[in-house]
């Protein structure tokens, strides 16, 4: 298996996901195994791409055929502070409020 239980745990930590949440230890184990199997199947499926013969094919620079049209450097304030803060679950003194990080 290309995707081990350790890979699943590492990935979940990076994504700040607690796979054991709301479960007993045994259920968490089973859940992690399920994820490992499913992720492994995805990776295996993608490996089919590696079978294509790409000799003599220029590597693609980007999957997008487009280039980014730049915008002119002209400042414009379109939104008010109230509008932007309006989406915040919590705000105070014109700031977004988040759980203390230091």
Partner 1 sequence: MSQQGTGWETVIGLEVHAQLLTSSKLFCRCPNRFGGEPNTRVCPVCTGMPGALPVINRQAVALAVQAGLAMDCRINLHSLFSRKSYFYPDLPNGYQTSQLEPPICEEGRVEIQGKNGPASIRINRIHLENDAGKCMHEGLGSSQVDLNRAGTPLIEIVSEPDLRSPEDAVEFMRHLRRMLVYLGVTDGNMEEGSMRCDVNVSLRRPGSKEYGIRSELKNLNSFTSILEAARYEVERHIEILEAGGSVDQETRHWDPDTGTSRGMRSKEEAPDYRYFPCPDLPPIVVSPELVEATRAKLPELPEARQRRFEEKLGLNSDEAAVLVGSAALAGCFEEAVALHNAPKRIATLMLGELLPESARQGKEWFETGFGPKELAHTAKMIEEGKVSLKVVHEIFSELLSSGQPVEQLAEQKGLLQVSDTGALEEAVLRAIADNPTEAAAYKGGKTKLLSFFVGQVMKATKGAGNPGLINQLLKKHLDS
CA 46, 51, 52, 55 dihedral sign is positive
Spatial CA neighbour of 19 closest among 39, 43, 46, 45: 39
**Comparison of 24 and 67: residue with beta carbon closer to partner 1:** 67
Spatial CA neighbour of 32 closest among 14, 57, 7: 7
**Comparison of 39 and 85: residue with beta carbon closer to partner 1:** 85
Q: Quick check: 43 binds partner 1 (CB under 8 A)?
A: no
Contact between 50 and 63 (Cβ < 8 Å): no
**Comparison of 51 and 72: residue with beta carbon closer to partner 1:** 72
Q: Quick check: 42 binds partner 1 (CB under 8 A)?
A: no
Q: List residues binding partner 1 (CB under 8 A).
A: 10, 14, 16, 61-62, 64, 66-79, 81, 84-85, 87, 90, 92-102
């Amino acid at each position: 298996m290309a995707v081990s239980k350790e890979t699943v745990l590492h990935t979940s930590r990076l994504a700040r996901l607690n796979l054991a949440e709301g479960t007993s230890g045994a259920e968490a184990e089973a859940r992690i195994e399920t994820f490992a199997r499913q992720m492994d199947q995805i990776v295996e499926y993608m490996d089919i791409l590696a079978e294509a013969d790409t000799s003599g094919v220029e590597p693609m620079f980007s999957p997008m055929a487009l280039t980014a049209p730049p915008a002119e450097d002209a400042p414009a304030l379109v939104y008010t502070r109230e509008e932007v803060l309006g989406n915040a679950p919590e705000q105070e003194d014109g700031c977004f409020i988040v759980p203390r990080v230091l």
